[in-house]
Amino acid sequence: MNESQQEFFEEQLLSISKGFDYPRTPDIAGSVLTRLRTFPSPSGRLRSAPQGGGRGERHPRFISRRLAWSLTVILVLFSSLMLIPPARAAIIEFIQIGVVRIFRAEPAPPDQGTPVTATPGPTSQPLIPILESLAGEMTLEEAQKAVDYPILLPAYPANLGPPDRVFVQDVGGYMTVLVWIDPQQPDRVLMSLHFIPAGSWAIDKMKPKLIQETTVNGQRTIWAEGPYPVRFSNGNVDFIRLINGHVLIWTDGKITYRLETDLPLEEALKIAESLQPIKR
């Protein structure tokens, strides 16, 4: 490309990119200011403008995010228990299953809440372009060699077949995620199955729309329906997501299993109970 060609090309790029349809910019300032004023910051600076412009006391510099989060949760739980009336104490109830904690808004009697029925068909986002850029993809055989626990595959439904995508990532332990693509909509995910070793990720779900206890092969299991925010943290990465799908969570003590799907509970249970080691 000579100089004039490059100039023309650059002009075109400038012109076309001006038409790019960005999502609306969210209220970053509001969120940042709230976080500065509300939560402890890593450097321990004062959150609001101190008179005279001084600095606050510093907290230890290398406090880990997980520890900070744990401390926050403990503080919230403790202060809530101390200060709020008993009627509101249920707000801080949570269920722990494997690496997942589920905070719920209020004790939900079994006959309350939204009935568990078949949910509408998948309304998920196209995911494949995002999956393409993610690290840790390998074959199922390679994945099984990489992890020290058996990767289990569903035998139900019979026509499901092996996962379309397999990822193993080191998140303090080797987490495996199997992804099945919807054959009717190849840019959609039908379901995913996560194997999360103990001690790797901490996952907190905040007040799902519906929480139901059930069992998978006799193991205590939680079924949660969105929408609800989920907080993921592993000491290095810490982020919050709004989830609107359903998830079945159970553990065998060493591994926490998460089956994410838009299928109803009955189907999810059948899939979970059909898991078996890879046949050689």
For residues 108-147, which are near another protein according to CB under 8 A? 123-125, 127, 129-131, 133-136
Beta carbons of 147 and 168 less than 8 angstroms apart: yes
Cα distance between residue 174 and residue 197, in whole Å: 7
Q: Is 232 one of the binding residues for another protein (CB under 8 A)? A: yes
Q: How far is the CB of 53 from another protein (least distance, A)?
A: 4
Quick one: 55 or 88, whose CB is closer to another protein? 55
Task: Compare residues 93 and 212 and give the one whose CB is closer to another protein.
Answer: 212
Is position 62 an interface residue for another protein (rule: CB under 8 A)? no
Please choose, from the candidates 257, 247, 259, 271, the residue with its C-alpha nearest in 3D space to the C-alpha of residue 197: 257
- Residue 95 parent element (H or E): strand 94-97
Question: What is the phi/psi pair of residue 239, to 5°?
Answer: -150, 165
Query: Which span (35-43, 73-81, 102-110, 209-217) binds another protein, by CB under 8 A?
Result: 35-43
- Contacting another protein (CB under 8 A), which of 230, 248, 249, 275? 230
Q: Which of 105, 149, 243, 267 binds another protein (CB under 8 A)?
A: 243
SS3 assignment, position 155: coil
Q: For the CB of residue 242, give the shortest distance to another protein in the complex, in Å.
A: 7
- List, in sequence order, the alpha helices (H) in the chain: 3-17, 28-38, 65-83, 86-89, 128-132, 140-146, 265-273
Stated length of the chain: 280
What is the number of other CB atoms lying within 10 angstroms of the CB of residue 38? 8
Question: Which of 246, 250, 268, 269 touches another protein by CB under 8 A?
Answer: 246
Looking only at residues 181 through 220 of this chain, which bind another protein when binding is defined by CB under 8 A?
188-189, 192, 194, 201
Binding another protein (rule: CB under 8 A), the pick from 237, 252, 254, 278 is 237
Interface segment toward another protein; rule CB under 8 A; list 42-50, 74-82, 87-95, 271-279? 42-50
Inter-CA distances, 12 with 3, 8, 208, 232, Å: 14, 6, 48, 42
Pick the closer one to another protein by CB: 21 or 111. 21
